[in-house]
Chain A
Amino acid sequence: MNCTDFERQIVLLASDRLIDTSFREESLTHVRLCGRCRNRLTEEQNLIAGIRAVRADLATETTPIRVELRLLAAIRTQASNATVNVGKPTLTVWQWGALAAVGLILVSTVAFFWSHSAPAQRRTSITPVVAPEVSVPQQQSLDVGPERERPIVARKKQPRMRRSIRTAPNDGEVVTEFFPLLAGDDLSALESVRLVTVELPGSALAEVGLPRPPAAETTSVKAEVLLGQDGVARAIRFVQ
């Protein structure tokens, strides 16, 4: 055995953990012959004695009680938070993201339909071409069955264009039949129509062949214009 081999095993030798007995014997023989390694072993044994003394000294060291109290407080807080959250499933970041995406799609869809319906609404302002004396239009939208015309009643302002079927006019109102504004137009072929309430001069009655009351010369009459899905006025009826 040389000094290098001895040095490799000195920790185990000094702490009596060198299991290999033959190697141990060789080491002790080397120590007897080599003064430098003998001193080295002494130093190592002193170090290990010091380590054991420190270990014994620290055996009574424990964490201050305040740490345990803080940790118990943390456990209580965590338990109470868990209780509060019972029945309230928390959403992960991915779930929040998915919800946001769905919301965005919904908003986009609504915006798409709104933008496509807006031109039809805008075309209602063109209706004066067909009925040039329209004043204060009130938009209505409703379905008219293909088989027969249904009496349609105007409603007050609608925040959004809604389709509905009315079978009778409002109470106290009398309406005439629809008079086609385009020759040969088949109203029953329309898939959807909108009704616009307008006020017209009394002379408009005469234009469709209706008797004109004397007072109608100076007053206006209420009428409902039926607009096709293309926004063109197709028919008119009068309301009294």
Chain B
Amino acid sequence: MTLTHKDAELLRLISTGDERAFTAFYQEHQANLYRFGLLMSGSRQIAEEVVQEAFLALIREPGRYDPARGSLSSYLYGTARNQVLRCLKRERVYVALAEETNGDATERQLISKNDLLTETARREAIRIVRQAVVALPVHYREVVVLCDFQEMTYAEAARVLNCPVGTVNSRLHRGHALMVQRLRANSKFTHASPDEDWTSLLRCFA
């Protein structure tokens, strides 16, 4: 995740309006940013907006990126993170809905609202985990998303979040604990054996 010569050259070309350069650059980074926005917000609409604004910022003000302060990927994630926080502040309903849900009955109600009951058991399990992520407070959620879902090292996440590595470690730990508490409400989760593969876990969900 360091700034390569390719990235530097692409940035230069983008600033001159080179569409092919931009397309190459966009294709390299857009999916990760989209998934980051999706996991952080639980909304495709917000994730779309996050990607758009992060790249627009780079197009309009490429000079704002300072290689001395970190990699281009970290810069993009940082911009995306700021955009997510703005969107979440604007549409607080998303988080409030997830955070207010407690207990199995409410969980089922939420799933029912999202019209997920017709999905397969695997998709249902995935949805539950995603809901647990979205229900986390933002400062835990962003660490969980970056480290667990984007597979960043603690150091990389610390650069994106502009905080010490130790903070990332403790927030990740706390985030996991909160998610486990939430998933514990779904008893099937806790009774699954760690040695079982994902298919057997799905059987537990069924």
**What is the interface of chain A, defined by CB distance below 8 A to chain B?**
8, 10-11, 14, 39-55, 57-58, 61-64, 67-68, 70-72, 74-76, 78-79, 82
Identify the B interface with A (CB < 8 A): 14, 16-17, 19, 22-23, 26, 30-31, 33-35, 38-39, 47-48, 51-52, 55-56, 59-60, 122-123, 125-126, 128-130, 133, 148-149, 151, 172-173, 176, 179-180, 183-184, 189-190, 192-194, 198, 201
User: Cβ of A41 and Cβ of B126 under 8 Å apart?
Assistant: no
Q: Given the complex, which residues of B lie within 8 Å of A67, measured CB to CB?
A: 30, 48, 51-52
Q: How many angstroms from the CA of A82 to the CA of B62 in the assembled complex?
A: 14
Contact of B129 among A11, A50, A63, A78 (CB under 8 A): A50
Cβ contact within 8 Å between A43 and B184 = yes
Residues of B within 8 A of A51 (CB): 129, 148-149
Chain B nearest Cβ from A66, distance in angstroms: 8
A53 near B190: Cβ-Cβ < 8 Å:
no
Residue of A51, A55, A76 with most chain B CB atoms under a 10 A cut-off: A51
Tell me whether A75 and B183 are in contact in the complex, defined as CB-CB below 8 angstroms, given that A54-B126, A57-B126 are known contacts. no
Q: How many angstroms between the C-alpha atoms of A48 and B176 in the bound complex?
A: 9
Residue of B nearest to A66 (CB): B48
Which residues of the partner chain A approach B194 to less than 8 Å between Cβ atoms? 14, 41-42, 45-46
> How many inter-chain residue pairs (CB < 8 Å) link A and B?
116
A27, chain B: closest CB distance, angstroms = 13
A47 touches B179 (CB 8 A): yes
- CB contacts (< 8 Å) of A40 on chain B: these are 180
Interfacial chain A residues near B183, Cβ < 8 Å: 43, 46-47, 50
Cross-chain contact A53 with B126 (CB below 8 angstroms): yes
- Give Cα A66–Cα B194 distance, bound, in whole angstroms: 42
Q: Nearest A residue to B147 by beta-carbon distance?
A: A11
Q: Which residues of the partner chain B approach A64 to less than 8 Å between Cβ atoms? A: 48
Q: Which residue of A lies closest to B190 (CB)?
A: A43
Cβ contact of A54, chosen from B48, B55, B149, cutoff 8 A: B149
Query: Cα distance A74–B59 when bound, in Å?
Result: 8
Chain A's closest residue to B33 (CB) is A63
CA distance A61 to B126 in the complex (A): 14
Q: How far is the CB of A235 from chain B (nearest CB, A)?
A: 72
* Pair A78/B59 contact, Cβ less than 8 Å: yes
Q: A68 is contacted by which of B23, B126, B172 (Cβ under 8 Å)?
A: B23
Q: Is the CB of A53 within 8 A of B17?
A: no
Residues of A within 8 A of B184 (CB): 43
Q: Residues of A contacting B31 with CB < 8 Å?
A: 61-63
Query: Would you give the shortest CB distance from B58 to chain A, in whole angstroms?
Result: 9
Query: Contacts A54-B129, A62-B31 given: A46-B14 contact, CB under 8 Å?
Result: no
**CB pair B180 A71 closer than 8 Å:** no
CB distance from A37 to the nearest CB of B (A): 13
Contact of B59 among A10, A49, A55, A71 (CB under 8 A): A71
List the 7 shortest-distance A-B pairs measured between CB atoms, nearest first.
A79-B17, A50-B129, A45-B194, A63-B34, A63-B30, A43-B180, A62-B31
